[in-house]
Structure 1
């Protein structure tokens, strides 16, 4: 037998023995757990062409109820895509983790006015779902609300897992101070229930508001609204106010549309859209160490956290906190999930974030489906970020592990 053939036979025998040994060690193939691919799937949730009666859908918000149902809220804009026309708050429910969704239901009908800015909160002790929202007088065109804007906060609730809803009640006597007399906005993003410390069980959501001095907007306020009795009574908690500059009419900081996450240590991370402030950065944040009664300091810009001026959402998932927001610093485009591994102190840069879509994209919200799966609800479109509202399901495997530091080249220059 030629030596070349003998060598091939020996190699084949060694390989066969190795394969047999491995199989014996691991056991039958059917006893091994199947390896699954990372999960990412998405679908269109709200779109004018599939949901008759509306010209446009915007402002997504999502929560998971105590019974595990996903409730996806949006503004159903009747006449056009403007912010201040005839707007209803609408809802779709999913009882299978976001795989399928029920029909559209109207939770709050505008009847010609603007009823929007949904901010849902789940009370996991009672199962009640509370929905904060904001009203203003509607327009018939696509223009913005006239300044000063007659915005007022309201609240309704569901005790049957989102199937039916109470009549709304006006919260102005409790959470609308006299000098917050122009713009006022609840959320728009889910609120939270605290789980740690002496304030465990407290319900918290965010608002941003403005003061009108008779001739112009003179101050901006970002605040937390809290309830310690399951939503029967509310009060204004932590507040960060920034006056307008008398000299040039600008704000140094103008935080708005805040999103809240309870950190593992019980502190609340408050991350907000930065709207036209002169400090560098498009998002700003602060913390609360006393359950939302006060902030640890004023909002500060995050210069390295690139986003356009847009609402975003945060959610804690295992050992990381996620941020959903477009990653393009200039335009509402490229929806992205970025992670923080130190409770919001620092964030992944845009080159490390996970891209959901390179389409136009805008407002978003997230809910935890299970311990490793997230539901993302976001505005998106091939032509305009307001084309439709999509729902994506993804898991931690799709996000990927934390990436190590990039390699560096030592500076060997002399002098």
Structure 2
């Protein structure tokens, strides 16, 4: 499977698809739609209880990486006592699909939700997910993490609750901001850093890792598990992108009274969060 550069979106399922040459710009309309069903709701019977178990997929998103790989994401929801994370991928331009890394947990152990991914410099994939099993209104350790060293075909081990990042149970975003070839590498993670008191967290923060997600620190090396606040109003879900010419952009839920009042776009230079 082709290597990835940057993966960042909310997800419970990931499709990795290699993309060939783009069609010519000027092409007569064919009105042909190349439709495929990647995920479909299903109902199965639990052999232990005899109850029907419904699995569905929601919140789709698609991005293209710098090396022309399309990534399609969807959250997998299983309406029983288990939460499952599954990655499926295609390395033949979508002609066939294979099941990759899969992890299933009792919801009382880990309740995995929206995910975000980024490739590390060693080729491994770092995955962060919302962990809904912690106290939703009071916890600031609401994320879980796992890694894959084989491009998403399997997880290296179990997901584990992450006690390092200061963030409530929410949809975070990872972004590869600096790659190899320079004086340092940098991965960014955006999310609020306060409890969801009244289901209304305060502030949008951006954290930095200079060791591929092992620790989160400020530019001067001081611990920075909560990161730098870029907006002091209420905030919720977020996503990030490189906006060009070195600028970093964050798209996020926010509002002066409630975090769902607005969708805001906030961009800044790397110097705003500190240069090592």
User: Cα offset for 1:375?
Assistant: 1.8
Tell me the alpha carbon deviations over residues 250-280 of structure 1, each in whole angstroms, 9 at most, x when there is no partner. x111122111111111111111111125899
Bigger Cα Rg: 1
Tell me the alpha carbon deviations over residues 347-368 of structure 1, each in whole angstroms, 9 at most, x when there is no partner. 2355761211011111111112
Structure-2 change in CA distance of 1:268 and 1:387 (3 Å)? same
Q: Check if 1:255 corresponds to 2:124.
A: no
Structure-2 change in CA distance of 1:340 and 1:351 (3 Å)? closer
Contact 2:129–2:172 (CA under 8 A) maintained in structure 1: yes
Structure-2 change in CA distance of 1:387 and 1:365 (3 Å)? same
The DSSP-based 3-state class of the residue aligned with 2:110 is: coil
Aligned to 1:273: 130
Aligned to 1:338: 207
1:334-413 to structure 2, matched below 5 A, reads 334-348=203-217, 353-370=227-244, 372-402=246-276
1:124-203 to structure 2, matched below 5 A, reads 126=21, 169-172=36-39, 181-186=54-59, 191=63, 193=65, 203=70
Aligned to 1:27: none
Aligned to 2:156: 296
Instruction: Measure the CA separation in 2 of the matches of 1:341 and 1:347.
Output: 7
The DSSP-based 3-state class of the residue aligned with 1:172 is: coil
Provide TM-score, normalisation by structure 1: 0.49
Tell me the alpha carbon deviations over residues 304-330 of structure 1, each in whole angstroms, 9 at most, x when there is no partner. 312122111101111110001111133
Instruction: Measure the CA separation in 2 of the matches of 1:124 and 1:381.
Output: 38
Among 76, 90, 94, the alignment partner of 1:209 is 76
Aligned to 2:92: 229
Aligned length: 237
Aligned to 1:327: 193
Q: Which has the higher strand share?
A: 2
Contact 1:223–1:239 (CA under 8 A) maintained in structure 2: yes
Structure 2 spans left out of the alignment, 5+ residues: 1-5, 46-52, 179-184, 218-222
Instruction: Measure the CA separation in 1 of the matches of 2:244 and 2:20.
Output: 19
Tell me the alpha carbon deviations over residues 196-248 of structure 1, each in whole angstroms, 9 at most, x when there is no partner. xxxxx765455443434xxxx1211012231213345433311110024xxxx
1:236-247 to structure 2, matched below 5 A, reads 236-244=99-107
Structure-2 change in CA distance of 1:167 and 1:231 (3 Å)? closer
Instruction: Measure the CA separation in 1 of the matches of 2:75 and 2:128.
Output: 12
Provide TM-score, normalisation by structure 2: 0.71
Structure-2 change in CA distance of 1:280 and 1:362 (3 Å)? closer
Tell me the alpha carbon deviations over residues 89-125 of structure 1, each in whole angstroms, 9 at most, x when there is no partner. xxxxxxxxxxxxxxxxxxxxxxxxxxxx9x9989675
Aligned to 1:286: 146
User: Cα offset for 1:288?
Assistant: 0.8
RMSD of aligned Cα (Å): 3.8
User: Cα offset for 1:293?
Assistant: 0.7
Contact 1:327–1:350 (CA under 8 A) maintained in structure 2: no
Contact 1:210–1:218 (CA under 8 A) maintained in structure 2: no
Structure-2 change in CA distance of 1:311 and 1:275 (3 Å)? same
Q: Which has the higher helix share?
A: 1
User: Cα offset for 1:182?
Assistant: 3.3
Instruction: Measure the CA separation in 2 of the matches of 1:275 and 1:227.
Output: 30
Contact 1:310–1:332 (CA under 8 A) maintained in structure 2: no
User: Cα offset for 1:184?
Assistant: 2.8
Structure-2 change in CA distance of 1:233 and 1:120 (3 Å)? closer
Structure-2 change in CA distance of 1:390 and 1:269 (3 Å)? same
Q: Bigger shift: 371-380 or 344-353?
A: 344-353
Instruction: Measure the CA separation in 1 of the matches of 2:37 and 2:105.
Output: 27
Contact 1:203–1:228 (CA under 8 A) maintained in structure 2: no
